[in-house]
């Protein structure tokens, strides 16, 4: 048992399964086949849009953060489940998405992917006291720090960040043909890994289908609900069209709808309310981020899921009103 976690053997098949499980854990799955598909989806989306470094960042991020778990000899149970890697892979996707591809970017990516592993341990020591976990918050916090830092670092240029400004006017005129709506809906799923591609969205749905059919169902349903609510509330059309109102609700839906609760009609209502709430909190976070030109990453998902899971409501038991 102990030997299994020593360095000589880690580049074995078991190691790679753990790596791929890390990719699947972003969507609360523990299935290396699903992880392979997810990484395939990331490669497709990033190469197709001309940003191959996003895919390679994902690979570096998940390997570095998983290796860090081995080196620090953290709980092997967590490692086996892929919990060392899911923040690292997101750090690895985010950095080349917003930052210019320089040596310093890669070094920063490695440092923060590694840090995401022990910071998750620390945060979970806090959150587990309240029977929730940190979700993707280590990724969110570290990436926001790096993106903010680039504003005063010429050595770490961030050409793909927005310009800092005050909240102002925006357009909510949207192309609502069926084909466009389907694209927005699929991009809402692909944006979980910061990928802006309908094809990748389809691959991700398929990946979830392999892992857990309810998870695939909730991803589809949540992205659709979020799209509908965002259109109803006439949100910024640029955000809607790129799936940026979808990815946090997708994660909230999978988390509340079929991961932390069993599926029944009560938990379904509760999860739908959580998904709708995530759209509002997404809009709120978009507004907060404007003066620094930042993305929200998965903050809306983290906040909403904490707000809905902290009460520890007993919704699984059969009760009559």
In the complex, which residues of this chain contact its own copies (CB under 8 A)? Answer: 6-7, 71-73, 104, 108, 111-112, 114-115, 118-119, 121-123, 125-126, 129-130, 144-146, 148-156, 164-168, 170, 172, 232-236, 239, 273, 276-277, 280-281, 283-288, 290-293, 306-313, 319, 321
CA 35 and chain centroid, separation: 14
Shortest distance in whole angstroms from residue 73 CB to its own copies: 6
Nearer to its own copies, 206 or 242 (CB): 242
Nearer to its own copies, 25 or 296 (CB): 296
d(CA 69, CA 8): 15
Shortest distance in whole angstroms from residue 132 CB to its own copies: 9
Shortest distance in whole angstroms from residue 45 CB to its own copies: 25
Output the CA–CA distances (angstroms, integers) from residue 161 to 147, 215, 216, in the order listed: 8, 32, 31
Name the token pair of 1.
């048992």
Burial of 121 (0-12, 13-18, 19+ CB in 10 A): middle
Nearer to its own copies, 45 or 295 (CB): 295
Shortest distance in whole angstroms from residue 121 CB to its own copies: 4
Going by C-alpha positions, the residue among 65, 61, 120, 131 that lies closest to residue 89 is 61
Nearer to its own copies, 16 or 306 (CB): 306
CA 47 and chain centroid, separation: 19
Nearer to its own copies, 11 or 47 (CB): 11
d(CA 181, CA 225): 12
């Amino acid at each position: 048992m102990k030997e299994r976690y020593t360095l000589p053997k880690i580049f074995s098949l078991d190691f790679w399964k753990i790596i791929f499980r890390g990719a699947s854990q972003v969507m609360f799955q523990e299935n290396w086949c699903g992880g392979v598909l997810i990484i395939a989806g990331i490669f497709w989306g990033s190469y197709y849009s001309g940003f191959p470094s996003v895919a390679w960042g994902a690979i570096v991020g998940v390997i570095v953060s998983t290796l860090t778990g081995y080196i620090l000899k953290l709980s092997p149970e967590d490692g086996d489940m892929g919990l060392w890697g899911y923040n690292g892979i997101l750090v690895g996707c985010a950095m080349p998405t917003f930052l210019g591809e320089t040596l310093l970017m890669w070094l920063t990516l490695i440092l923060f992917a590694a840090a995401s592993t022990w910071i998750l341990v620390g945060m979970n020591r806090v959150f587990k006291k309240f029977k929730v976990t940190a979700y993707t918050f280590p990724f969110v916090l570290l990436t926001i720090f790096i993106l903010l830092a680039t504003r005063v670092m010429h050595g770490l240029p961030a050409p793909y960040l927005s310009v800092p400004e005050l909240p102002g006017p925006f357009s909510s005129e949207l192309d609502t043909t069926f084909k466009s709506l389907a694209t927005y809906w699929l991009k809402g799923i692909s944006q979980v890994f910061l990928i802006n591609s309908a094809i990748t969205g389809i691959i991700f749905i398929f990946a979830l289908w392999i892992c857990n059919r309810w998870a695939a169902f909730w991803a589809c349903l949540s992205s659709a609900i979020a799209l509908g609510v965002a259109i109803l509330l006439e949100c910024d059309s640029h955000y809607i069209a790129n799936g940026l109102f979808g990815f946090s609700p997708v994660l909230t839906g999978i988390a509340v709808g079929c991961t932390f609760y069993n599926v029944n009609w009560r938990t379904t209502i509760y999860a739908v309310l959580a998904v709708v709430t995530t759209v509002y909190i997404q809009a709120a976070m978009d507004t907060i981020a404007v003066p620094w030109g930042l993305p929200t990453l998965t903050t809306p998902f983290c906040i909403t899921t904490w707000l809905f899971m902290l009460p520890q409501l007993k919704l699984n038991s059969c009760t009559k009103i």
